[in-house]
Amino acid sequence: MQIGLIGSGNMARAMARGWGRPVLCSDAVPARAQALAGETGGEALATNVELAQRADVVVLCHKPAQLEEVAREIGSHARAVVSILGGVRLTALREAYPDRPVLRLLPSTPVEVRKGVVLLADDGAPELESELGRAVADLLAELGTLVRLPESQVDIAMGMMSNAPAYMALVAEAQIDAGVRAGLPAELAAQLVVRTMAGTAALLEHKDFDTLAVRREVTSPGGSTARGLDALERGGLRAAFSDALDAVLNPGAPRR
């Protein structure tokens, strides 16, 4: 299946790197498309129309505000359309591409190393069970974990998942900085924190995502872990993550 990416920004690059195969790509900044094509062994195309004509499936990676503009260009040429446009629901996609099969998904940046989560909006449309839907699902599964969920839950899940790599990086950075302040070399502190995060993620998965079980196994009454957890609770860790999700889902809401 020949993949065509309209838009060659961060998420398009992450997906292309995860797939590890040549892709067709275009971008409003030609140099970005050329760089991505060079990296994947693919081809940068001068126009979105040419890309749509040659691709088996067009992945919309452009800015959400460009939905109608791009649809006017390629709507009569694209065989099938997959959107990763944040906040653009299936109803809007189908209005823009009324006579083409359309799928909506949201990936996370770890798809670059095939460890991402890809959300696939499922509203019961026949596209998902078609030959195209199954082929796209197989492609997405190469990038990590594919999760099908009702579209009404997509934005909430996106707020949990799509932004999380930045949150986890910030948590790691805070731990590393604390280690450096206490006297560890920065490189060693970074290795200790990141390796422990990766190992803990694997352990949580092994234990069926039972966070409480993992915490109990490392926390002795009155011990160092208990004291550290108490400090994190008093520092407002839970409230901070809750506020972060609220800020993502309700960008206009006043801040506390």
| Residue 43 included in any domain | yes
| Residue 225 included in any domain | yes
* Nearest-10 crossing angle of helices 10-19, 30-40: 10
pLDDT score for 254: 65
- Residue-number span of the structural domain to which 110 is assigned: 3-161
Last residue of a domain, one of 137, 161, 185: 161
Last residue of a domain, one of 108, 138, 161: 161
| Sign, CA torsion 81/83/89/92 | negative
What CATH number is given to the structural domain containing 182? Answer: 1.10.3730.10
Q: Tell me, yes or no, whether 145 and 195 share the same domain.
A: no
Domain count, the chain: 2
Asked whether the beta carbons of 201 and 145 are under 8 A apart, the reply is no
Which segments of the chain does DSSP mark as H helices, in order? 10-19, 30-40, 48-54, 67-74, 90-96, 131-141, 151-161, 164-182, 186-206, 211-218, 224-234, 237-249
Kindly provide the b/e burial profile for residues 191-204, where b requires at least 16 CB atoms within 10 angstroms of the residue's own CB: eebeeeeeeeeeee
- C-alpha distances in angstroms, 181 versus 65, 185, 193, 204, 240? 44, 9, 14, 29, 23
Q: Which of 70, 59, 57, 68 is nearest to 28 (CA)?
A: 70
Q: Which two tokens stand for residue 111?
A: 């798809």
| Residue 235 included in any domain | yes
pLDDT score for 255: 65
pLDDT tens, the chain, 256 aa long: 899 999 999 999 999 999 999 999 999 999 999 999 999 999 999 999 999 999 999 999 999 999 999 999 999 999 999 999 988 999 999 999 999 999 999 999 999 999 999 999 988 888 888 888 889 889 999 999 999 999 999 888 988 888 899 999 999 999 999 999 999 999 999 999 999 999 999 999 999 999 999 999 999 999 999 999 999 999 999 999 999 999 988 887 666 6
